[in-house]
Amino acid sequence: MATLHWVFLGRVPYPLGLSLQQAQASRVLAGADPILFLLEHPKTITLGRSADPGHLRLGEQELARRGFGVYRVARGGDVTYHGPGQLVGYPVAALPGGAGSVPRWVRAHAGALIAFLKDHGIDGTWSDLHPGVWVGREKIGALGFQISRGVSTHGFALNICPDLAHFDTIVPCGLSRMGVTSMAALGSRVPTLEEAAERVAFLVARQLGWTPGEALDSGEVLEEFADDVSLSACL
């Protein structure tokens, strides 16, 4: 049975988060154990492989003027916003069962988010039509993975207490008639991101049938990866 190691990194610039995933993916291919990186990003917009640039409601120069980073990434999906108050998870692991288990991998992570929301009195549901975790017609959790050589990168984002006005800069996931919500907007008790990270890591492991590992020290993780990623270029 695999052990899911995890670490909460706090607020991390998007390029650093991406570099950590790429470095860990190389280690997993060499036989390393999985790591779930949990963190939040500064104001960031990502465009997945199938993204329509028309789903940016502002031009990239205007977004940059307002302090948003814009990145084109290899994950599936359309346009997504990340920012403070949103818990982002990047599970970097060899996919159990190979490529044929991708749907189970996605649903396991969605199931962890749904279980976490239930802990806080929120009934979230998965949608096959519009993949993600929803509360009514409003999305509260986004999922988008990249599977390469049997290793998963990218992951999920859960809206705990982000500024929902920031989502107005995009058409989230290309769904113009659907809304976005958060635990705070729904009146739930709002945990700290560190509290949420610990519980979500446990629930992801349980959904996968893995052993939940102890939290790794964030400073030690960054030091360990320092030779694999250009930390100074990402800060």
Q: Which residues belong to the active site?
A: 173
Question: Three-state secondary structure along the chain?
Answer: CCEEEEEEEEECCHHHHHHHHHHHHHHHHCCCCCEEEEEECCCEEEECCCCCHHHECCCHHHHHHCCCEEEECCCCCCEEEECCCEEEEEEEEECCCCHHHHHHHHHHHHHHHHHHHHHCCCCCEECCCCCCEEECCEEEEEEEEEEECCEEEEEEEEECCCCHHHHHHECHHHCCCCEECCCCCCCCCCCCHHHHHHHHHHHHHHHHCCEEEEECCHHHHHHHCCCCCCHHHHC
Q: How far apart are the first and last CA of the chain?
A: 36
Q: Would you tell me the crossing angle of helices 193-208 and 102-119 to the nearest 10 degrees?
A: 130
Closest by CA to 36, choosing from 179, 223, 166, 202, is 202
